[in-house]
Amino acid sequence: MMQPKIQHLQELKAEMLAVVRGERAVPTNVGGVAYESAGAVLRLLTSENRELLAAIDRTHPESVAALARQLHRAEPNVSRTLSKLEACGLVRLREGKGKTKIPEVLARRITVDIDVFGTHDRGSLA
């Protein structure tokens, strides 16, 4: 799995413009998961979202609907949360029977390295 990066939007814009101008090569992690800050990662990991991840890991639900029933939550809310977690590389929604999506946990641990004197945090999933 490609490791996520933490990169401010201004840095991303500068990087993209430098590639377009031919001043630098295309980064190897283009198209991977990126967060604007370590705080953005932490905001995603609410206790409710961590409970959802744990339930997926523990019970291996057959569908998003089954997971929603198990957690006594509305399916649209669970689906929306899973989409956010998928975009961040924490889960995968695998194709099931018909239109069914099967949630799977991709990462059990997130490590964030914060330089308290700088603005360049780093993160990794495991």
- In the 8-state DSSP scheme, what is residue 108? S
- Other CB atoms closer than 10 Å to residue 74's CB: what's the count? 10
Q: Residue 29: helix, strand or coil by DSSP?
A: coil
Q: What is the pLDDT of residues 67-126, one digit of tens each?
A: 999 999 999 999 999 998 888 788 999 999 999 999 999 888 877 777 778 766 666 555
Total domains present in the chain: 1
Residue 78 sits in a domain whose CATH number is 1.10.10.10
Tens of pLDDT, residues 35-55: 666 677 778 889 999 999 999
Instruction: Tell me the whole-structure pTM to 2 decimals.
Output: 0.69
Give the torsion sign (CA, 33, 106, 92, 74). negative
The domain in which residue 69 lies consists of: 5-125
